[in-house]
Amino acid sequence: MKKIPIDKAKPGMVLAEDVVSQTGVVLFPKGIELSEKNIQGLSSLGIDVIGIEGKSTPRMTKRKYLEIIEQAFKRVNPDPFNNKIKEILIKHVDSLYEEA
């Protein structure tokens, strides 16, 4: 699944997850093929981002992302909270590339 801004949605794309209201009501179900009317409806409801079927294309290599994380965390205190954030970021980057 990849997340895209609603203004990048095209007819024929397929929702990879339900689009729900703030109260939890399903507005558009997972698996629906988007039409121009669906896209306009989502936009008019204030939906900014949707999940569509397909893989995301990473903008950088995994190595580059990990280097950026390392550089960023060299500048902060190595306390347990910051270490946990770093660990979560590394796991997230790993998960992005395990399917690639």
Parse the chain into domains and list their residue ranges.
2-52, 62-97
User: Which residue's entry shows tokens 């409801």?
Assistant: 45
State the pLDDT at residue 99: 54
Q: What is the pLDDT of residues 46-75, one digit of tens each?
A: 999 999 988 666 678 889 999 999 999 999
75-78: long-range pairs with CB below 8 Å, 24+: none
Task: State the Cα–Cα distance between residues 37 and 42, nearest whole angstrom.
Answer: 9
CATH T-level assignment (fold) for domain 2-52? Molybdopterin biosynthesis moea protein, domain 2 (3.90.105)
Look up the pTM and report it.
Answer: 0.55
